[in-house]
Structure 1
Amino acid sequence: MATYVLVAGNWLGAWAWSGVTARLRADGHDVHPVTLTGLGDREHLASPEVDLDTHVADVVHTIEYADLHEVILVGHSYGGFPVTGAAERVTDRIARLVYVESGPLPSGTSQLDMIEPEEREATLRRMKEREDGWLLPPPSAAELASGAPVYAGLDEAARALFTALAVPQPLNATAQPLDLADGGRRDALPHTLVTCMFPVEQVRAMVAEGHPYFAGFAGKEWTFAEVRTGHWPMLSEPERLARALAELG
């Protein structure tokens, strides 16, 4: 049986993995979903000082304090950033890095770099000008129900759960660039991408074309899995995502 550490993206906590966690544990796997500082049941710890370094430490401490080894370390969306940073620090404890709707990005890259320049500048301006500018609010109930591709697969129950439990994201975590060393040992680990919004073949084509969003896919040995749904497969397709992760163990 395998050991999994699961890290969700913006606004979410360990609660978002409940369906996946239950299925993996039912198969006998050891599963540790992580709630990053300032999110989920740790919302009360949110502050302007919470940044990417904080979240990297959350993942590292989960692994070290539980004395986990041969870990399949899974990062979803923004969770790919702290997962990559943590793998740099505890490489010897990691068996495989898995990115769900995410990927490893070069040192010096932040999640804010992944959005359009106008939106990025507006976000940075908001951080400077507003008293609550250090928080990024989650999508509204109306946005979740809008039918946009990013929200595909979220039924009424999943949308209600998202609305009830998602909390604002500490923005310094998404604004702080990833700070990595040479990364050779980390890069040598097996890597898997679980893609949801794009078919695997389209991802392969974008990697081959050198698309900047896929720069971190160069120079590594990759396997691919596909769970066709929107951006939050742990909520929209927990059984299929759990099956894809179980096959890696």
Structure 2
Amino acid sequence: MADYLLVHGAMHGGWCWRTVRDLLTARGHRVLAPSLTGQGEHRHRLSPEVGVATHVEDLAALLWYEDLTDVRLVLHSYAGILAGPVAERSGERLTSVVFLGAFLVRPGQCLLDVEPPEVARRYRAQVAAAGEGRYLPADASFLAQWGVRDPELRAWAGPRLTDFPFRCQTDPVHFDPGPLDALHKVWVRHTEPFMPNLRPSLDLARSRGWEIRTIPCGHDMMLEAPEATARLLEDVAAGY
């Protein structure tokens, strides 16, 4: 049996893993799916100070307080940029990292550095116009961008999306790549649709020889294809 730490992406919370968590737990695994500061049920903690370092601390502290070892870290979307700093802080507690349609950055880059320029410009404009200069406003229309097609799923997930701290998009991510390099890594591609802004991250994973897997669904794999997601995570854990 394996220990999993499931980390959500932008505007989400631990709630998005509900079905995947239940499937893995029912099969005997231990699963933690926290909500990062300012997200999900912690939305009331959104402040101008919340940034990448805050979320790295969220995860490193959880690993320490729970005294977890041999952990399978699973990162969705935005959370991919946390991999390097978390591995640097807590690499001895980790066995593998699965990147579910996740963004990758090199040391010193920020999230907007690896987004297409037109997307970065649009986000900056939205933050300035409707986010008080400090957060990207949550909007259910993002679900269409992410390929969530089921009307019932959209109706359930849309109201749960939360404003996203802008610093998490602009903070440079500093880390020693060595601890992350030492872990087994899998990058999971979604295909219905594949988001073009993830192409640089996929290409980087391939160039480094990481294992590449595919789930035929949209970006929110844990919502659209929970059984396939859970099975993939178990398969990866079985090999490491």
The interval holding the TM-score normalised by the smaller chain is 0.7 to 0.9
Identity percentage of aligned residues: 32
Cα distance in 2 for partners of 1:109, 1:164 equals 31
CA–CA separation in structure 1 for the residues paired with 2:23 and 2:202: 30
Would the aligned equivalents of 2:147 and 2:218 in 1 still touch at CA under 8 Å? Answer: yes
Equivalent residue number for residue 232 of structure 1: 220
Q: Within 1, Cα distance between the matches of 2:215 and 2:14?
A: 20
Which residue of 2 is the match for residue 206 of structure 1?
A: none
Offset at residue 84 of structure 1 (A): 2.9
The answer on whether the counterparts of 2:79 and 2:103 sit within 8 Å (CA) in structure 1 is no
Cα pair distance change 1:130/1:244, threshold 3 Å: closer
2:147 is the counterpart of 1:151: yes
Letter in 1 for 2:201: Y
How far, CA to CA, are the matches of 1:131 and 1:20 in structure 2?
Answer: 32
RMSD: 2.4
Match of 2:175 in 1: 180
Distance in 1 between the 2:118 and 2:112 partners? 11
Q: Distance in 2 between matches of 1:84 and 1:216?
A: 14
| Per-residue deviation, residues 225-249 of structure 1 (Å, max 9, x unmatched) | 2111111011111111011101122
The CA deviation at 1:119 is: 3.6
Task: After TM superposition, give the deviation of residue 87 of structure 1 in Å.
Answer: 1.3
Question: Residue 198 and residue 155 in structure 1: after superposition, are their counterparts in 2 closer, same or farther (change >3 A)?
Answer: closer
CA distance in 2, matches of 1:102, 1:81: 8
1:100-115 aligned at under 5 Å gives the runs 100-115=100-115
Give SS of 1:98's match.
strand
Map of 2:64 onto structure 1:
64
Q: TM-score, normalised by structure 1?
A: 0.85
Q: Deviations over 1:104-132 (max 9, x none)?
A: 32111211123232342353455567662
Task: Give the Cα separation in 1 of the matches to 2:179 and 2:131.
Answer: 42
Residue identity in the other structure for 1:92: E
Give CA-to-partner distance per residue, 1:16-39, whole Å, 9 cap, x none: 000100000001001000210000
CA contact (8 A) 1:3 1:71 kept: yes
Contact 2:7 2:75 in 1 (8 A): yes
Q: What secondary structure sits across from 2:33 in the alignment?
A: strand
What letter is aligned with 2:11? W
Uncovered stretches (5+) of structure 1, i.e. residues with no partner: 204-210
Residues 1:132 and 1:237: Cα distance change in structure 2 (over 3 Å): same
Q: Distance in 2 between matches of 1:227 and 1:235?
A: 12
Tell me the equivalent position of 1:207. none
Q: What is the rounded CA distance, in whole Å, between the counterparts of 2:131 and 2:34 in structure 1?
A: 29
Tell me if 1:222 matches 2:217. Answer: no
- Structure 2 unaligned blocks of 5 or more: none
Compute the displacement of 1:199 (Å): 10
Deviation of residue 193 (structure 1)?
1.2
Q: How does 1:81-120 map to 2 (within 5 A)?
A: 81-120=81-120
- Matched residue SS, 1:75: strand
Structure 2 letter corresponding to 1:192 = V
CA distance in 2, matches of 1:15, 1:187: 30
Conserved 8 A contact 2:100-2:189:
yes
Give the distance between the partners of 1:230 and 1:129, measured in 2 at CA.
Answer: 29
